[in-house]
Amino acid sequence: MRLMKSLFAVLFLVLATAAGAAELMEGKDYTVLNPPQSTESPGKVEVSEFFWYGCPHCFHFEGALNQWLKTLPKDVSFRRVPGAAKPWMPGAKLFYALEAMGLEDKLHAQIFSAIHESRDLHPIKEEGFPEWLAKKGVDTKKFSDTYSSFAIQSKVQRAMQLNAGHRIDAVPAIVINGRYRIVDPAEMTPEKFMAVANALVAKARAEQGRK
């Protein structure tokens, strides 16, 4: 009797695993980038988020994304890449300027909130950036110098290349290891997004020959 129960338990586990694997469908849950894009985190699985501060879907997706980021193992790296289409340039420069000043982590969520909730900030009206940042205690001269620097312009140009190489035509977009792009992550429930993202991270890890 115990043997039968054990066999049923094993069979149930196998079927459940198979069912979970079947749920992850190419074309429905993710697409494959061909050719795959190079990553900047050797030895790790790299997760890239493509976003725009003015995108309401990106704003609402932040909660699910941040929840998932708290669970990432040490062999997974994460980077944000701003959308860099011409109308979005001010937001891309704002992101990279604050990153260069070590303020991006502190102000990222606040920028989203100021644009989509309090309406204190406009994502393409760069003349309003210094005034808003001054209220946050930021050195506005340093910000303005950084914002208009060649280094930031170079980062924006690189973001344009990354957006094009990853074939980003809508945001938010999540790409795993330069190869797997999740389909419409903002339309998924948080649980569905995390399940798909974790499965693709595991897939990328296995392809690197790691467990």
Question: Where exactly are the structural domains of the chain?
Answer: 25-207
Q: Which CATH architecture has domain 25-207?
A: 3-Layer(aba) Sandwich (3.40)
Task: Give pLDDT tens digits for 122-179.
Answer: 999 999 999 999 999 999 999 999 999 999 999 999 999 999 999 999 999 999 999 9
CA 43/CA 208 separation, integer angstroms:
8
Average pLDDT for the chain: 90
pLDDT of residue 6 exceeding 60: no
- Predicted TM-score (pTM) of the model is 0.86
Helices 190-207 and 56-69 cross at an angle (nearest 10°) of 60
CA-based angle 28:30:36, to the nearest 5? Answer: 145
Which of 186, 176, 198, 187 is closest to 62 using CA atoms? 186
Q: What percent of the chain stands above pLDDT 90?
A: 84
Span 107-114, average pLDDT? 98
pLDDT at 3 over 70: no
- Report the percent of the chain where pLDDT is more than 70: 89
Predicted confidence (pLDDT) at residue 5 exceeds the cutoff of 70: no
pLDDT at 119 over 50: yes
What pLDDT score does 23 carry?
74
Q: pLDDT value at position 184?
A: 97
Task: Report the amino acid identity of residue 186.
Answer: A
Radius of gyration of the chain (CA): 20
Tens digit of each residue's pLDDT (9 = 90 or more) over 10-44: 343 333 333 344 478 999 999 999 999 999 998 99
How high is the pLDDT of residue 15?
Answer: 38
Q: How confident is the model at residue 211 (pLDDT cuts 50, 70, 90)?
A: low
Report whether pLDDT(1) > 90. no
Q: Which residue has the higher pLDDT, 54 or 20?
A: 54
pLDDT for 209 beyond 90: no
